[in-house]
Amino acid sequence: MHADHVEDLSELLRAWRGRLRPEDVGLESFGRRRTAGLRREELAQLAGVSVDYVMRLEQGRSRTPSAQVVQSLARALQLDRSETDLFHRAAGLAPPRAGVVSRHIPPGLQRMLVRMADLPLAVFAADWTMLHSTPLWQALFDAPSVLADPDQNLIVQTFIDDSVAEVATAHGGPASFERALVADLRRTAARLGEDARFAAFITRLRRESERFAAYWDEGRAAAHQSLVKTVHNRVVGDVTLDCDVVTVPDSDVKLVVYSTATGGPDAEKLDFLRVGAVRAASPTDSAR
């Protein structure tokens, strides 16, 4: 890799970090700031990497971040698709190509997530791999953050390890929820049929889950939109909620939001979990 290539990466990171304010990413501003923008510590917290690693990237001492690190930093920096592609190239990586499952969260959605941080919501890729979840989502489902476990996939949890059934029950029976998921995945296959990793994922599911194979062979293709579910929470007990799935325009990612009418017992249980989630939230710092 040429020296000027490395310099571009370090300069880009500093420039992108400098244009964001703490409030843009849902953080409180504290202390005097010598320069505008996020501190390195704040970017590291958001991306789930160590402060030292961010410093080494910005100083050009680390030249080859992995694709996973680039994607994490791109989300934290709220980069659009073109900037994310530029980031990959500056890191010596091929940008994600069209026609494959994208892990990119558009900047507009990222800003929405900051403003909706007190709701139980999560963002999923087209193959139902989780890309982001709020602290209240994590408290409601007793689930780790994406930074702690980046391999969470709702399809796998539903059909391979069967952990979803222990956490939530769909009104109308589990078959209605499972059929909706598979039909949504069928819809994705129509758009991303040339993605080899996605095709291998479907092959694995058909091989390891008879239920998935049976629903897949029904041939239904439709967007998964909404269901009523009862979540079995170990702290507050059962919570009945509306689950709505929104597909982001010009993107394959899905926003899943749980909600309930204000003033009822389910709302009170959510409020109780919300207080605990805020108290439990703390910076995550993991070296890479």
What does the pLDDT average to over 118-129? 94
Min mean pLDDT across 98-102, 113-117, 139-143, 268-272 is at 98-102
Q: How far apart are CA 146 and CA 129, in angstroms?
A: 10
CATH number where 195 lies: 3.30.450.180
At 229 the pLDDT is 94
At 104 the pLDDT is 86
Min mean pLDDT across 98-107, 108-117, 224-233, 277-286 is at 277-286
User: 125 lies in a domain?
Assistant: yes
Report residue 253 as tokens: 């990612």
Contact 236, 229 (CB under 8 A): no
Q: Which domain holds residue 213?
A: 107-280
| Residue 274 banded pLDDT, cuts 50, 70, 90 | very high
Q: Residue 184 class from Cβ within 10 Å (0-12 exposed, 13-18 middle, 19+ buried)? A: buried
| Residue 286 banded pLDDT, cuts 50, 70, 90 | very low
pLDDT in tens, 4-62: 444 488 888 888 888 888 888 877 766 666 767 888 888 888 888 889 998 998 888 88
Number of neighbours of residue 23 by Cβ within 10 angstroms: 10
**What pTM was computed for the model?**
0.78
Block residue for tokens 């998935």: 212
**148: closest CA among 136, 135, 165?**
135
Q: Please check whether residues 81 and 123 belong to one and the same domain.
A: no
CATH number where 79 lies: 1.10.260.40
At 288 the pLDDT is 38
Block residue for tokens 């710092």: 285
Report residue 66 as tokens: 């992995």
| Residue 66 banded pLDDT, cuts 50, 70, 90 | confident
**Where is the domain boundary, 59, 90, 121?**
90
Query: Does 67 or 144 have the greater pLDDT score?
Result: 144
User: 100 lies in a domain?
Assistant: no
At 285 the pLDDT is 37
| Residue 281 banded pLDDT, cuts 50, 70, 90 | low
What does the pLDDT average to over 156-163? 94
At 30 the pLDDT is 66
Q: Please check whether residues 139 and 82 belong to one and the same domain.
A: no
Contact 48, 72 (CB under 8 A): yes
Round to the nearest angstrom and report the end-to-end CA distance of the chain. Answer: 21
What does the pLDDT average to over 176-202? 89
- The kind and range of the H/E element at 131 are strand 130-133
At 91 the pLDDT is 87
Q: Please check whether residues 137 and 276 belong to one and the same domain.
A: yes
Contact 14, 40 (CB under 8 A): no
Q: Please check whether residues 162 and 258 belong to one and the same domain.
A: yes
User: 96 lies in a domain?
Assistant: no
Q: Please check whether residues 271 and 185 belong to one and the same domain.
A: yes
At 102 the pLDDT is 85
Block residue for tokens 């989300």: 75
User: 64 lies in a domain?
Assistant: yes
At 235 the pLDDT is 94
At 76 the pLDDT is 84
CA distances from 184 to 16, 163, 175, 192, 234 (A): 35, 20, 14, 12, 30
- The kind and range of the H/E element at 247 are strand 237-247
H-assigned helices in 19-147: 40-47, 51-58, 67-76, 81-90, 107-115, 135-141
